[in-house]
Amino acid sequence: MDAALIEPKGIAGIVSVEPGACRASYTDEQISKLAKIPTLVVFGDNLSVPTGLGALTWQNRLDGCRAYLARIKAAGGRVDIVATAELGIRGNSHMLMQDKNNLHIADLILKWIDAKATSRGPDLASIRSSFNSRAPKAAWASRANVRFLRVLQGKLVFRFLGRSPGAAMGLPSRAGV
């Protein structure tokens, strides 16, 4: 979300998977800018688990994101929050992209992108093409979620600061990003 505040040009939407926070400290001016960008926030069903930061749980993080959603909607924006348990989807940890049902989660995200985040800015193919020589396409990977990443690679450009774990599995990667 902070990157969108710095340079919103070409950002068709924001997908945030189990964010550390949906900050309450955004100013009204920042909320007004963020309200122009459709946003999806996804949480697994591990809401009672501590985040590792004091007494906070993922439920606390979800509650903070719902407060953020209310501010964005009041500013005329669109934020969708998906808590997988509320949809009857069980078995997700904090690392939804590595869980056994990661393709189901990917389908939810891709459907949201197709429905809500494709009408703003240049098309994703041209964005991907312009970054192709500089950015690895995979930011994270495990053997269990290579299919998940390949599905997302068709839609998104991932940026990873440092070495790409996906390189060991044959996923495209370029050094020096």
For residues 117 and 154, the model is more confident at 117
Return the bridge partners of 57, or none. Answer: 50
What residue ranges do the domains of the chain occupy? 2-121
CATH class, range 2-121: alpha beta
Closest C-alpha to 102, from 58, 137, 138, 147:
147
pLDDT, tens digit, for every residue of 5-27?
888 888 889 998 888 778 888 99
pLDDT, tens digit, for every residue of 48-77?
776 676 667 777 888 888 899 999 999 999
Q: In terms of DSSP H, where are the helices of the chain?
A: 2-6, 28-34, 58-74, 102-116, 124-131, 146-153
| Residue 168, pLDDT score | 42
Of 22-36, 88-102, 125-139, 161-175, which gets the smallest average pLDDT?
125-139
Secondary structure E strands in the chain: 14-17, 39-43, 79-83
